[in-house]
Amino acid sequence: KVLGAGAYGSVMLEKDGNAVKRGNIGYDEASIIDKVGKADLGPKLYAADLDGLGLQPGTAKGRVAMSVVPGTMIGNKPGDKKIGKSDKVIADAYWEARAKLHRMGIAHNDMHIENVFVDRKGNGRFVDMGLAQDSPKAALAEAMGIFGKAPSGTGKGTKQAGRKGD
């Protein structure tokens, strides 16, 4: 079953319940998945294998095995939608997880509504670390950029936080 696909590769759900990304893997992607997974902000890294030059600079052909992130993508759910039986809402989970990621020095660089998941307890997590950077400067720039001018047609905020109809 395909869990996701994009310019860099596809992520498949394997029979054992884990996920495997195949395609172009960023040179630092596996180490970032490992760091983010250990902080419970994304998938847990199981293994990675790089073999040959990727199609884009900074990538290699390969695969990454990881856990499946619990929860569901925030998608077009309203930010004030309650999560489970708690008082927490979708927007709270998003901003809390985003702040934790940036405090770790990680810039996701593709934090759109399909790459942010929230579980029943209100914990936010991220998927798709293909464009992520392990850089405090990049994390700060991403955190501050949320208040910048929106690209045409994306709604409020940056491309990552904006969505049509906001």
Question: What are 87-118's pLDDT values in tens digits?
Answer: 899 999 999 999 999 999 999 999 999 999 99
| Alpha-helical runs (H) found in the chain | 29-38, 90-103, 136-145
Neighbours of 49 (CB within 10 A): 13
pTM of the predicted structure, to 2 decimals: 0.84
Q: What pLDDT is recorded for position 139?
A: 96
Cβ distance 36 to 104 under 8 Å? yes
pLDDT average, residue stretch 55-80: 93
Question: What are 106-153's pLDDT values in tens digits?
Answer: 999 999 999 999 999 999 999 999 999 999 999 999 999 865 555 454
